[in-house]
Structure 1
Amino acid sequence: MKQAEAPPNATWSGPSHAGVKAPDPIVLPDPLARFASSGDRLQTLADGHPMEAWLRFMAALSHAQHAVAAMQEPHASVAPAALAQAVEARLPPLAADGHRRDQAWREGLAALLDHVDAPGLPDPARDAIAALRADHADALEKRADRFLRGRVPADEAAAAVFVAAALQVYFTGSAARLPVDELRLLEERALCPCCGSPSVAGLITASGTTPGTRYLYCSLCSTAWNHVRAVCLHCGGTRKLSVQGIEGAPETVKVETCGDCHTYSKLLYQLRDMKVDPYADDLASLGLDLLVAEAGYSRHAPNPLLLSPT
């Protein structure tokens, strides 16, 4: 790997003269654009990739998510009083570990399985789909609970990928309906202000009124929120940060490593590729994850579609 120049200061370093807006603190997702964009990007990135077959499967899964979002848009509504109470307490109104899920997520899961089930799927995926179709409602809810609490046993790992994909559609649709002007960032700025989940990657913008801004993208509900640059997402440290990438590779995806807590997070640079997608480009850059892990760093938070059984 190669190390980039020293990272910028941990404060907003963009233009500050009169008439220039500060970055929007929270950007809610567009469910119809989110999954279609990721699926299309994965198809592009799969061409000639060492993991081409797997990326094409993930592209098919993203397109299945898009079909569900476009057809049913499974989601939950948060009562105004509950929303106000959560925001006042600086808690996520759609807390992943405490939200009472509507049965619509299970309907979305059934539709997702119908869309992704196609000839050519590997046997483990087919077995997982069959197991999920055979489950009753309580069993599916328990699977969802185990996933959201990070307690997926080894024999459920394959099925949990589809559960995770369905929950992403459900929480993305739910977050999209929140009144953004009433939301606030959490005190723990590395967590999503809508559902409290960690980010899958950070994107450094190249367009808009405040280029150079870092937005974190939620791994569950697809919300984006502004986070200052050059601050470790895990420990909040600033002294021992460095930005690194693979020697000779396109500089679209890099990692920010912290020498204090030995964690890292992904950084995607829109300036290098305006079509970069936080979800697709994260999956397509697993080689970078492996190199950073070999160097002794642990990822700040996992991609939910890359499950490690407990």
Structure 2
Amino acid sequence: MRQFEAPPSGKWTGPNHAGVKAPEPIVLADPATRFAATAKRLAKLADGHPMEAWLRFMAALAEAQHAVATTLAPASSLNTASVAQAVNARLPPLAADGHERDPSWREGLASLLDHIERSELPPAARDAIEQLRRSDAAALDKLADQFLRGGLSAADAAAAVYVAAALQVYFTCSAARLKADDLRLLEERSLCPCCGSPSVDGLITATGVTPGTRFLFCSLCSTAWNHVRAVCITCGGTRRLSLHGIEGDIGVIKAETCGDCHTYAKLIYQVQDTQVDPYADDLASLGLDILVTEAGYARHAPNPLLLVGDDEAVAS
């Protein structure tokens, strides 16, 4: 089966003969650990990092996400029929750009803001929090829609980073209520089978049933799904792929570039560090993004927190 073709009827079409085990095609995140793991990893990576203040802010943001995910847990519950209808149509059941959000996402945003320590934030960041607190439900939903559909204005960037963080919690908690066995990989394999969002990066596993497998990690609902290696996740090309890393680095994270479409995607190698976290390690490797971009490649999709974030607005 070629990449991007629709799977026939089963959830997986990989090898199934004796002695060969296929990787799980879809793995849903656990809201109880997803954001805590990111926060812990960011705190570790921040030590001595050139962007230490910003990474520590992102760690605090992840801690606030964890608090919301494990207390309020804002989410939407889809009935079995709705999920089956979407899956049969080869559509993500929690489609980010069309899903009717439960009002609890706004409660999650308010709770997240309550957990942010504002005393150490610069004025622009404090102003953004106050702007969100003063906004009514319609204004917040509009901002969320603009973020999910790529229509944010520069003026909303500082406030939208918190909206993005709240939406990550909401969609992660919503996805966790689904059953992986009820889902199917999409025809466009680079998109999340749960919410249709692009991945933040890929992880090459070192443990589990099938070590050496690539899993992509959703930038919004935190779902992981299997994607074959040595294939460009943007155009499906295989002939002009190259791996690039930072000289002197141990090789935890590399950029896979495609000479056909001139895009790149990050790959994290768990064998080099078993404590890696797809979300934290992506944020901490902006130097690699800069180098690859300067070489003429465009990132396959932005990290949502980088898309709307402004390091001068959110970190001292």
Could you state the TM-score of these two structures normalised by the residue count of structure 1? 0.94
Percentage identity across paired residues of the two chains:
72
CA RMSD of aligned residues (A): 1.4
Tell me which residue corresponds to 1:242: 242
Question: Residues 132-147 of structure 1: matches in 2 within 5 Å?
Answer: 132-147=132-147
Using the TM superposition, give the Cα deviation of residue 58 of structure 1 relative to its aligned residue in structure 2, in angstroms.
0.1
Distance 1:29 1:65 in 2: 14
The change in CA–CA distance for 1:272 and 1:17 in structure 2 (over 3 A counts) is: farther
Distance 1:204 1:15 in 2: 19
Using the TM superposition, give the Cα deviation of residue 32 of structure 1 relative to its aligned residue in structure 2, in angstroms.
1.0
Distance 1:125 1:229 in 2: 40
Distance 2:124 2:267 in 1: 32
Gaps of 5+ in 2: 4-13, 310-316
Using the TM superposition, give the Cα deviation of residue 250 of structure 1 relative to its aligned residue in structure 2, in angstroms.
2.1
Using the TM superposition, give the Cα deviation of residue 301 of structure 1 relative to its aligned residue in structure 2, in angstroms.
0.3
Using the TM superposition, give the Cα deviation of residue 17 of structure 1 relative to its aligned residue in structure 2, in angstroms.
6.4
For the 8 Å contact 1:117–1:126, the answer to whether it is kept is: no
For the 8 Å contact 2:124–2:158, the answer to whether it is kept is: yes
Secondary structure at 1:271 match in 2: helix
The amino acid that maps onto 1:101 is R
**What per-residue deviation string (whole Å, max 9, x for no partner) do you get for residues 106-149 of structure 1?**
00000000001331111111011000000000000000000000
For the 8 Å contact 2:175–2:194, the answer to whether it is kept is: yes
Distance 1:124 1:232 in 2: 39
**What per-residue deviation string (whole Å, max 9, x for no partner) do you get for residues 185-241 of structure 1?**
000000000000000000000001100000000000000000000111111111100
Question: Residues 227-306 of structure 1: matches in 2 within 5 Å?
Answer: 227-306=227-306
Tell me which residue corresponds to 2:26: 26
Tell me which residue corresponds to 1:170: 170
**What per-residue deviation string (whole Å, max 9, x for no partner) do you get for residues 27-83 of structure 1?**
001011100000000000000000000000000000000000011110001111111
**What per-residue deviation string (whole Å, max 9, x for no partner) do you get for residues 246-270 of structure 1?**
1111200000000001000000000
The amino acid that maps onto 2:186 is L
Using the TM superposition, give the Cα deviation of residue 179 of structure 1 relative to its aligned residue in structure 2, in angstroms.
1.4
Tell me which residue corresponds to 1:4: none
Gaps of 5+ in 1: 1-9
Distance 2:122 2:171 in 1: 28
For the 8 Å contact 2:36–2:62, the answer to whether it is kept is: yes
The amino acid that maps onto 1:102 is D
For the 8 Å contact 2:15–2:22, the answer to whether it is kept is: no
For the 8 Å contact 2:243–2:257, the answer to whether it is kept is: yes
For the 8 Å contact 1:43–1:55, the answer to whether it is kept is: yes
Question: Residues 77-226 of structure 1: matches in 2 within 5 Å?
Answer: 77-226=77-226
The amino acid that maps onto 1:282 is D
For the 8 Å contact 2:158–2:308, the answer to whether it is kept is: no
The amino acid that maps onto 1:265 is A
Using the TM superposition, give the Cα deviation of residue 15 of structure 1 relative to its aligned residue in structure 2, in angstroms.
9.5
Distance 2:255 2:54 in 1: 22
For the 8 Å contact 2:118–2:126, the answer to whether it is kept is: no
Moved over 2 A (4+): 14-17
Secondary structure at 2:271 match in 1: coil
For the 8 Å contact 2:68–2:111, the answer to whether it is kept is: yes
Could you state the TM-score of these two structures normalised by the residue count of structure 2? 0.92
Tell me which residue corresponds to 1:5: none
Using the TM superposition, give the Cα deviation of residue 308 of structure 1 relative to its aligned residue in structure 2, in angstroms.
5.3
Distance 1:270 1:74 in 2: 31
For the 8 Å contact 1:214–1:228, the answer to whether it is kept is: yes
How many residue pairs are counted as aligned between the two chains? 297
